[in-house]
Chains A and B, each alone.
Chain A
Amino acid sequence: MNRPIVAVVGTPNVGKSTLFNVLTGLQQKVGNFPGVTVEPMIGSVHYNTKHTTLIDLPGIYSLDPTSEDERLTVDVLRGTHPSIERPDAILLVMSASDPQKCLVLYSALAQLGLPISIAVTMVDTVKAHGGSFDDIGLMHELGANIFPVVGSKGLGVGDVINALVSIDTWRIPSPPVTIEATLEQRFAWASTVIDRHVRAGSPDVVSERLDNIFLHPVWGGVIFIAVMAFFFQSIFAWAEPLMGGIEWAFAELQTVLQSALPDNLFRSFLVKGVVGGVGSVIVFLPQILILNLLITVLEECGYLARAAFLVDRVMGLFGLQGRSFIPLLGSFACAIPGIMSARIIPSYKDRLATIMATPLMTCSARLPVYTLLIGAVIPSGYVLGVVSIKGAVMASLYIAGALSGLLIALFLKRTLFRGAVVPFLIEFPPYRIPSLKSVGITMVGRSKDFLKTAGTVILAFSIILWVLTEIPRAEIPDGVEGVQAEHLQIEQSMAATIGKTIQPVFAPLGFDWKITLGVLSSYAARETFVSAMGQIYAADVAESDEPLRVVLSKAMPLPVGLSVLAFYVYALQCISTMAIMRRETGTWKWPALAFAITLVLAYTASFVVYTAFSP
């Protein structure tokens, strides 16, 4: 017999994903933001050799979906989803502290003809606040099993698992209202049920007081700006010592390999191609970790939903709504999760406009490039005595990207995606302390993704580039050896030939063949620029015994450096981002358009910057 499948269903913010984690032990992100569970997670429970498959579906309020992730849930429950099998039963997760909307959903689910059991969360909170919840009475009234659970403490979980492995004992409830019942009638029914079985505790004063501060017309805005400032500041300040440590470790490794191995091609391959190429990228792991830590914490504690409320008016100026803020902020870490989280935007046109803006948010892959070039070409010193020039340039790159992205969204909303504004609507989750476990799971996942890219795409390109710099073997005259020989080799290599062939295209932007090669290799992944520069300038680095940054500062005049920076602000150099855009929009049209728009912008911006700063 096949394993039975049970769908875990509930309205947003009832602790559904937490319960799913506890039931299956399967690790998965717990969102505190409505609709964060975008991909259905599959897990299994077993008890006494009996097994059941659980599928965690995105939260819904009714069987009339208003967004993409809700449509998935409804399609699966109705059995009309093309790839996901219809479940055999439903485990409805209900919050005792807000049972009304859950019962309204129940009244719709009861019409599907599937057996239903109900897990009730937050019973402990309701009782702690002086309320009561009569689960036995509710069980008799609804004709469905009711299991109070405290997910975080594991209480009642055993009973649920026990029930999940024997769904043949579950009953198909008789619908409490007719299938044509209006929402008003469903709410009226829910209210009578609540009157009989639930007494609400005192209200959640903590959330109310926090909202009075965080959503205050003045202080709310001040706190929002402070949070954002802290957000970007910490990415740089906290990461610095860690990055220094990683740089040191890779330099040591190179020195050790250099002295331990005989001077041959293999050593060059290992030191320059593998360690040099990958090391120059792994250095940025701390920044990526910190960025993801901050976004996850903001999301899980409930602040992100409030931030969306605060910025809704500003987003409105760009034809977007508050919800678009979430994917855009996430895109500062990486456009891929950003684009996926755009599924919480109900309107298709708003969703597309937001997705088209995400690649212009400064993702963490641009950071290595910015950090290297700013370190190399921007002079140290302070503006007004406090703001470092390097910091100011970094900030303006972030602002230029974000503003341009929003303007593109506005332009698209005024042209291609013209349509009625779909108003902002969000349910605030209660504030809560983020769970260490789920933040940890997210961070580990993101680091794995990053290291996987570093270990595959970037390593592969690093090796290809190494080969291109080593063939064909240059004719080295007698008496020339060491670093000078390396110079001759790279000048006559295949890499130089490719760079010099394409260089005329980028000549108006001030790029020489070395930069051209770096920019081209960035179309595999942006960070590759750093490892490419590391390899192309390896001879100079070895010659001067100084870090790449210092070598570049001598090789690259200010106008060229700024021109390259401007190019990276705009160019969509990320195959993964384009693939995910294709998946989320269903056609290559939008990634192709985004690629074209950003390429034109990148070329124009670089040209303008280079011309303006050239003497």
Chain B
Amino acid sequence: MPDLLHIPLNVLYRIVAVEGDGATAQRVRELGLIAGAVFRVVRRAPFGGPVEIALEQRRIGLRLSDGLKITAEPAV
């Protein structure tokens, strides 16, 4: 199952699972990144920096780390 670091840009994907504990995983889910949500990765900052995610009308900047894993599948 691909995670956020490995899915193509600007293709609609559906979240399968958000894993991780603590404040960031909670906030990620409160922003709507929950199982079943459809989103796209707009861009990745160079050198392993954060990714920008478009979801509903929101734009979210997020750095993935060991404590947070988001897996997704193609939405169509």
Contact = CB atoms under 8 A, between A and B. Distances in A.
A423 to B, nearest CB: 4
Given A217-B46, A321-B63, A422-B23, A427 B52 contact: no
A475 interface: no
Interface string B24-49: 10111111101111000011011111
Q: Which bracket fits the contact residues of B? A: 35 or more
A221 B46 CA distance: 10
A239 B49 CA distance: 36
A580 B60 CA distance: 31
A510 to B, nearest CB: 43
Interface stretch (A49-57, A307-315, A435-443, A455-463): A307-315
Contacts of A305: 61
Contacts of B42: 211
In this complex, the member of B47, B62, B66 whose beta carbon has the largest number of chain A beta carbons within 10 angstroms is B62
A87 B65 CA distance: 39
Interface in A296-319: 305, 308-310, 312-313, 316
Contacts of A428: 52, 59-61
A596 interface: no
A426 B52 CA distance: 9
Contact of A61 (B27, B46, B62, B65): B27
Interface stretch (A97-105, A243-251, A512-520): A97-105
B61 A183 contact: no
In this complex, the member of B28, B35, B65 whose beta carbon has the largest number of chain A beta carbons within 10 angstroms is B65
A203 B24 contact: no
Given A421-B67, A423-B24, A211 B59 contact: yes
Nearest to A200: B57
A532 to B, nearest CB: 46
A346 interface: yes
Contacts of A346: 23-24, 27
A313 B22 CA distance: 21
Contacts of B50: 309, 312-313, 322, 424
Given A61-B30, A211-B42, A217-B46, A422 B24 contact: yes
A308 B61 contact: yes
Contacts of B57: 97-98, 100, 200, 203-204
A187 B65 contact: no
B16 to A, nearest CB: 13
Contact of A423 (B31, B37, B45, B64): B64
A14 to B, nearest CB: 11
A101 B31 contact: yes
Contact of B56 (A100, A308, A312): A100
A101 B47 CA distance: 31
Given A98-B56, A421-B65, A66 B32 contact: no
Contacts of A310: 45, 49
A180 interface: no
Nearest to B28: A425
B67 A423 contact: yes
B6 interface: no
B4 to A, nearest CB: 11
Contacts of A422: 22-24, 67
In this complex, the member of B23, B46, B59, B68 whose beta carbon has the largest number of chain A beta carbons within 10 angstroms is B59
Interface string B13-27: 000000000111011
A101 B55 CA distance: 11
Contact of A425 (B32, B35, B62): B62
Contact of A187 (B24, B32, B49, B62): B32
A184 B35 contact: yes
B74 to A, nearest CB: 21
Interface string A405-422: 000000000000000111
Enumerate the 9 nearest inter-chain pairs by beta-carbon distance, A residue then B residue, closest first: A313-B49, A66-B23, A424-B63, A428-B59, A61-B30, A309-B61, A98-B57, A423-B65, A426-B61
Given A61-B27, A427-B59, A428-B60, 18 more contacts: A62-B26, A67-B23, A100-B32, A101-B32, A183-B29, A187-B34, A215-B43, A308-B61, A309-B45, A312-B45, A312-B50, A312-B63, A420-B66, A422-B24, A422-B67, A423-B62, A426-B60, A427-B31
Interface of A: 61-62, 64, 66-67, 97-98, 100-101, 104, 183-184, 187, 200, 203-204, 207, 211, 215, 217, 221, 305, 308-310, 312-313, 316, 321-322, 346-347, 420-428
13 contacts: A64-B26, A98-B56, A98-B57, A104-B32, A184-B34, A187-B32, A203-B57, A215-B43, A421-B65, A423-B62, A423-B67, A427-B31, A427-B61
